[in-house]
Amino acid sequence: MAENVASAISAAGCGNLLFCSSVDVYGRPPSENPLTEDSPLNPAGYYGHAKLVSEYILQRQLGGVIPVAILRLPGVCALDDGDNSAPGTIFNAIRRGESVQLSGGGRHRRTYLHVDDLAALSEVICRERWFGTMNLGGPDRCSLFELATTFREFLGSASAIVKGEPNGTEFDIEVAGDKLRGAFPNLRFRSMREHLQNARCRSE
């Protein structure tokens, strides 16, 4: 697919390319936290391998023709009815008044990115024709338990947050974000609580 996309873009004469890759190229779990662009690459599974190979193909075939921006995304969430990300699933369960069970007590820490922030950054990258490889992450680097607690407090919910037993899938994925802040110092990603408040204002 990446080879076909590269050929089509070359033929169409596009101005630049923004490719959404994944922090899965560093492995699950990654060998270090927080992740930087220099962290060891160790993709696990077909998804991580496919993303990393696609990066190489697109940069090799298009890098000398147009600006190619490779964005390595952590978990992306929207916090709406159709959001099936981990934060979205937790948020919607609490909104419905249901209990939430977090494996391993929800102690593993993650960096999540709100889709509105991804859209804002994408617009700037396309306008400025930025190129390179960058890890993305919002300002919240917290545990799933802390995230669930934030949602419950914001919604004024009495939903129980149950600290379940570990199931072997718990590990940290945190993104440093230094390169992002250095490249776009005037672009501020909002916290999860700010996104919640913004969504509430739009609905009122």
For residue 102, give every residue at least 6 positions away whose Cβ sits within 8 Å of its Cβ, in sequence order, or none.
90, 144, 145, 148, 161, 162, 163, 164
- pLDDT value for 139: 83
Longest Cα pair distance anywhere in the chain, in angstroms?
Answer: 56
For residue 127, give every residue at least 6 positions away whose Cβ sits within 8 Å of its Cβ, in sequence order, or none.
none
Domain assignment present for residue 7? The answer is: no
pLDDT in tens, 103-134: 999 999 999 999 999 999 999 999 999 999 99
pTM of the model: 0.93
Split at pLDDT 50, 70, 90, the class of 99 is: very high
Split at pLDDT 50, 70, 90, the class of 204 is: low
Beta strands in 108-149 (DSSP E): 109-114, 132-135, 141-143
pLDDT in tens, 76-96: 999 999 999 999 999 999 999
Domain assignment present for residue 2? The answer is: no
**Is the pLDDT assigned to residue 168 strictly greater than 90?**
no
Strands 75-77 and 68-73 turn out to be: unpaired
> What CATH code is carried by the domain that includes residue 112?
3.40.50.720
Q: Read off φ and ψ for residue 78, nearest 5 degrees.
A: -125, -25
Domain assignment present for residue 59? The answer is: yes
Domain assignment present for residue 8? The answer is: no
Q: How far apart are CA 40 and CA 32, in angstroms?
A: 8
Burial string for 145-180 (b: 16+ CB within 10 Å, else e) reads bebbebbbebeebebebeeeeeeeebebbbbbbebb
Q: Read off φ and ψ for residue 167, nearest 5 degrees.
A: -125, 10
Total count of domains within the chain: 1
**Is the pLDDT assigned to residue 203 strictly greater than 90?**
no
pLDDT in tens, 30-78: 999 999 999 999 998 999 999 999 999 999 999 989 999 999 999 999 9
* Two tokens, residue 84: 């099936």
Domain assignment present for residue 111? The answer is: yes
Residue-range definition of the domain harbouring residue 92: 14-203
